[in-house]
A and B are shown apart, each in its own frame.
Chain A
Amino acid sequence: MRRNSIVLLLIIIAFLGGCKSKNNVVPLLIYNDADPYMEEFRDNILERTPEEYSIEAYDSQNSQIIQNEFIEDLLKEQPPVMIINPVDRLGAYTIVLKAKEVNVPVIFINREPLEEDLYLWDQVYYVGAPAERSAELQSEIIMELFGDPNNLGVNDLNGDNIIQIILLKGEQGHQDAETRTEVVMNELETNGYEVETLVIEIANWKTSEGYEAMMELLPIYGEQLELVISNNDAMAIGAIQALMELEYFQDLDNDGFIDHEIEPWIPVVGIDGITSALELITSGYLYGTVINDSESMAEAIIELTTAIINGDDVNTISYLLIDNKYIWVDYKKYVLDEN
């Protein structure tokens, strides 16, 4: 009788234990699904999920409170690992401490927590792109377009050898917005280009705000405008919509393609390389973008996740893992090959 009950108990424990270890759903917390770049990033991760586990995405709706709630609830279910795109990168230390408590590894993506926070625990990783590189590449695109800084050529519309720009900035105070703005301006300056900033407008990463800002600015600065620099593609697309509406772009032959040789256009450069932006490059509206390579990053994230779940050495994956913490995936320039 006693032996039977012990056996029964063991079976129950084994069953419960089995249940616990059976949680192979990896939560993926996106800071905001309304961000088209993050939406693509999310889809790239999801479609690469191998069969041995599954990934469930959560939308934090741009609120750290909501994300914290998700994290609190999800950690109770003991996921094998969590992939988090933080809303507030400065609050990430709380996530690290909380995850450490229940021994759930965390992969932060896209928004880089403070270094000191990442080093709070050895099971915390970051997969992203080095923010300043995007702006460096963006400035390269611009420099290639305008050519010799001392002799700017056709794209210097008024021929004053100064580039008149409108800069669409992301969220004020956002590290990426600040870095991208600063680096692109610095790069141009260091390389000898003279730039006149007509206005730096904050459009919070959003297409709609980019559109609205440009609709207000174009009647004022439209005549002088020679270049639109945008911190991301979404705002660039908004700008293009306004430029089209106010006929700065004109598809004279109605072939759905802006021929830069013969049709009116204004160069707009973005960052991120989201699908709709790439389409606009193909049709000649967007001059160029820097692809924030979410496909490669998604691959890196999946490889890292798989290694953690399988208990493999994380350094054996095909992406370079720096100091057991960082995987940097570089940006790629993307412009229309006019030849």
Chain B
Amino acid sequence: MFKKNNLSIGQNISLTTILIVIFSVLTATFSQYINYSGVTNDIVESTSKEINKQIILNYENYIDSVIQTANYIQGQTAQYGHIGEPIELDSIYEQASEIQEDIVSIVLIGISGNEIVNSESKTLNSEDLTLKQWYIDAISDVSIFHFSSPHIQDIYSSSVEEVITVTKLIDYYSNGVKYQGVLVIDLNNINLVRLAETTNLGDQGHIIILNDDNSLISSSSNICVENTCESAVIAQSIIIGGEKVEINNIAMYANVNTLNTTRWRIATFTNVELIEETRNKTLITNGIILLVTLTITALAASSVSRRISSPVNKLKKHMLHMGEGDFYQRIDLHGQKEIVVLANSFNHMIEEIKYLLDKILVEQRDKRKTEFIALQTQINPHFLYNTLDSIVYLSENKMNEDVVEMVIALSKFFRIGISRGKNIILLSEELEHARNYLLIQKIRYHNKFEFEFEVEDKVKDCKVVKLILQPLIENCINHGINTEYGSGLITIRAYEKDGNLCLEVEDDGYGITDKKRDELYLGFIDKTKAKSVGLRNVYQRLQLYYGEESQFIIDTELDVKTTIRLVISMEREVQDEKK
């Protein structure tokens, strides 16, 4: 299952475009084809119906002319007979038969088959004419003309011509007395065939004529010469009307219509193969057009969608980079106007962000420096005051050597503390500073404690933030010296562990309780709960300079010892914060 969200812009565009085009082209092609085939069907139907009508009209005209002649003969027969001059009828019959060339003969025979009037000079067939089918027909229904099927002329014995016999019962007079006789008009059958041949019904198109008993009267095609031929069977089943049929595997349109006054039906078969072929060709052409259009559309759609989506993809990739913190690449796009504008805005945004980030960085650094310096300077005055106090005390008690030692130590202490304004100094210097401080305090506290240094040589040239040991030692002296139980030994250690630099200040004093230790830790973070300004000061500076990785560990055992351990990253060359 497709989820719409899962499709890319490109897929969406091409899919939509292709779908729209498929839909519209299919609709157009389909409706065109339907229209076309509808129109061609109509044309096939109407043209072949028109042809059929034309043929029927031709035959009707022909039949009408025959009927007219017959009517004329009937009228004349009644009139002349009435006047009582039957002799003249012979010439009227003769003329009428001569005027219309397809009339072979016009004969009037009496009820018993005897000759009354004869247009030809031939003698009548001596057989009993009242047994002929045309005679029986004429007697069976006296109100209409009867048209026979084609047959060899049988009213004369010598004839070989194929004729159609038209008969009707009419009145005639002999010596003023009215009699009934049968008018027999023989028509040359060739004319029927000729009428059929004059019409263009296309290749193998043909005409057949059926009688009311479905027998074949005439056919213009030599394929169809029997009642059972394909065309005749089709015409018989259609009865009347039009239908599309197939004869000899050729598409034909069959039309069957009645022919007035004869009871005949004329069936025309028009070849419509050509039209069918044209329609199939149109279908194929339409199919090809559909395929070509689809291909072109697919190509165009995918190219357009690529042109739109590829810059967008580029932009997307760039944004991902930016999300990972890369603010230093500009994006350079060509293509759609909107995308270029978007890219430019994006570039502008990156620059803005970069500028802001830099600004924040500088501000942070400045702030840290300010804090750092402030913390560093908190140490000195307080200590100096106490030391000077001690020197005054030593001087008053004439302890000159101690005074000298103390003043020297103090001078060294300050030289390192100031260290020409640098915040970062060599560990050896920091240790020296611590030693001087211890010396000063030792004199001041009348040798109440001892101290020692355990320093690995390899760490001496490490760089450290200055004045981090002194506050720890100060803490020891103030809280950790226990002369009653311990020797009052303060141990300063510096060593490397796991790539980090460890600095330890240890005393063997009272130790501190867990609770107090937790309070100390808490005070490092929350200024208002700070117990020891000095320790917090060191902690803060470590945090500021070395960051989160630096450790400030208080390790203690009650009445045994307290160790404060600083773990910081080992740096040989550290860029000066002052830069």
Query: CB distance B258 to A88 under 8 Å?
Result: yes
Which residues on A sit within 8 Å (CB–CB) of B241? 68, 71-72, 98
How far does the alpha carbon of A173 sit from the alpha carbon of B75 in the complex, in Å?
11
Partner of A179, one of B53, B143, B263: B143
Segment 27-70 of A: residues with Cβ below 8 Å from B? 64-65, 68-69
Closest residue of chain B to A99 (Cβ to Cβ) is B239
User: Once the chains bind, are B260 and A94 in contact (CB under 8 Å)?
Assistant: no
Chain A residues positioned under 8 Å from B263 (CB to CB): 90-91, 93
CA distance A95 to B265 in the complex (A): 12
Contact with B along A77-114 (1 / 0, CB 8 A): 00000000001101101110110010000000000001
Give the residues in chain B near A21, CB-CB below 8 Å.
none
Residue from A68, A87, A175 within 8 A of B240 (CB atoms)? A68
A106 CB, nearest partner CB in chain B, Å:
13
Distance in angstroms between the alpha carbons of A172 and B66 in the assembled complex: 12
A interface size (C-beta, 8 A): 23
Chain A residues with CB below 8 A from B57, complex form? 65
What per-residue 1/0 map shows which CB atoms of B182-225 lie under 8 Å from chain A? 00000000000000000000000000000010000000000000
Asked if residues A173 and B71 are in contact (CB atoms below 8 Å), the reply is yes
Q: Which residues on the B side are within 8 Å of A65 (C-beta)?
A: 52-53, 56-57, 257
Q: Which residue of A lies closest to B261 (CB)?
A: A90
Residue in B closest to A114 when the chains form the complex, CB atoms: B141
State the main secondary structure of chain A at its contact with B.
helix
* CB atoms of A173 and B261 under 8 A apart: yes
Task: Collect the chain B residues with CB atoms within 8 Å of residue A172's CB.
Answer: 67-68, 71
The chain B residue with its CB closest to the CB of A100 is B239
Given contacts A98-B239, A98-B240, contact A90 B262 (CB under 8 A): yes
A88 to B259, CA, bound (A): 9
Q: Are A88 and B260 in contact (CB-based, < 8 A)?
A: yes
Given A101-B239, A114-B141, A179-B143, also A68-B258 (CB < 8 A): yes
Decide if A8 is an interface residue (CB 8 Å cutoff).
no
Q: B242: CB under 8 A from chain A?
A: yes
- Cβ of A140 < 8 Å from any Cβ of B? no
Interface centre among B70, B141, B239, B263 (most CB of A within 10 A): B239
What are the residues of chain B within 8 A of A98 when measuring CB–CB? Answer: 239-241
B384 contacts across to A, CB distance below 8 A: none
Contact with B along A159-176 (1 / 0, CB 8 A): 000000000000011010
Chain B residues contacting A179 (CB-CB under 8 Å) are 143
**Cβ B144 vs Cβ A175 within 8 A:** yes
Are A90 and B144 neighbours in the complex by a CB distance under 8 Å? yes
Query: Is there an interface contact between B71 and A72, defined as CB atoms closer than 8 Å?
Result: no
Chain B CB within 8 A of A178 CB: yes
In the complex the two chains form, is A69's CB within 8 Å of B143's CB? no
Which residues does chain A contribute within 8 Å of B259, judged by CB atoms? 91
Residue A322 CB within 8 A of the other chain: no
In the bound complex, CA of A200 to CA of B257 (Å): 34
CB distance from B416 to the nearest CB of A (A): 94
A90 to B52, CA, bound (A): 19
**B252-268 interface mask toward A, CB cutoff 8 Å, 1 = contact, 0 = none?**
00000111111101000
Bound-state Cα–Cα, A87 to B258, Å: 11
Q: Is the CB of A97 within 8 A of B239?
A: yes
Please determine whether A200 and B75 come into contact, CB atoms closer than 8 angstroms. yes
Q: Does B145 interact with chain A (Cβ within 8 Å)?
A: yes
Q: Give the contacts of B34-50 with A (CB-CB under 8 A).
A: 49
Complex Cα gap A114–B56 (Å): 22
Kindly provide the distance from the CB of A62 to the nearest chain B CB, expressed in whole angstroms: 10
Residues A95 and B240 in contact, CB atoms below 8 Å apart? yes
Q: Are A64 and B143 in contact (CB under 8 A)?
A: no
User: How far apart sit A101 and B265, CA to CA, in the bound complex (Å)?
Assistant: 18
Q: Which residues of A contact B260 (CB under 8 A)?
A: 64, 87-88, 90-91
CB neighbours of A93 from chain B (8 A): 212, 263
Considering the chains assembled together, what is the distance between the CA atoms of A98 and B239 in angstroms?
6
Interface residue from A68, A90, A175 paired with B257 (Cβ < 8 Å)? A68
The answer for the CA separation of A65 and B242 in the assembled complex, in Å, is: 12
Determine the residue in chain A with the shortest Cβ distance to B241: A72
Q: Which of A69, A94, A114, A178 has the most CB of B within 10 A?
A: A94
Q: Is the CB of B143 within 8 A of A178?
A: yes
Measured between alpha carbons, how far is A69 from B67 in the docked complex, in Å?
A: 25
A97 to chain B, nearest CB (A): 5
- Contact mask for chain B residues 231-247; partner A; CB cutoff 8 A; 1 contact, 0 none: 00000000111100000
Q: Mark B53-76, 1 if CB is under 8 A from A, else 0.
A: 100110000000001101100010
CA distance A330 to B262 in the complex (A): 30
Cα–Cα distance between A179 and B68 once the two chains are bound (Å): 18
Contact A173 B242 (CB under 8 A): no
**Complex CA–CA separation, A87 to B262 (angstroms):** 13
Closest to B141 in A: A114
CB 8 Å contact bits of B133-156 with A (1 = contact, 0 = none): 000000001011100000000000
Closest to A97 in B: B239
Q: How far is the CA of A246 from the CA of B124 in the complex (A)?
A: 52
Determine the residue in chain A with the shortest Cβ distance to B240.
A94
Say whether B49 contacts A88, CB under 8 Å.
no
Cβ distance B57 to chain A, nearest Cβ, rounded Å: 8
Q: Contact mask B364-402 → A, CB, 8 Å, 1/0?
A: 000000000000000000000000000000000000000
Could you tell me if B258 and A175 are in contact, using CB atoms closer than 8 angstroms? no
The 6 nearest A-B residue pairs measured at CB:
A91-B258, A72-B241, A172-B71, A88-B260, A94-B240, A98-B239
A-B contact pairs, 18 of them (CB 8 A): A64-B258, A65-B52, A65-B57, A68-B240, A69-B49, A72-B240, A88-B260, A88-B261, A90-B144, A90-B258, A90-B260, A90-B261, A91-B263, A94-B265, A172-B71, A173-B71, A175-B144, A200-B75
Q: Which A residues form the contact surface with B (CB < 8 A)?
A: 64-65, 68-69, 71-72, 87-88, 90-91, 93-95, 97-98, 101, 114, 172-173, 175, 178-179, 200
Residue positions of B touching A, CB distance < 8 A: 49, 52-53, 56-57, 67-68, 70-71, 75, 141, 143-145, 212, 239-242, 257-263, 265
Known A65-B257, A98-B240; 14 more pairs at CB < 8 Å: A64-B257, A64-B260, A65-B56, A72-B240, A88-B258, A90-B260, A90-B261, A91-B260, A95-B240, A172-B67, A172-B68, A172-B71, A173-B67, A200-B75
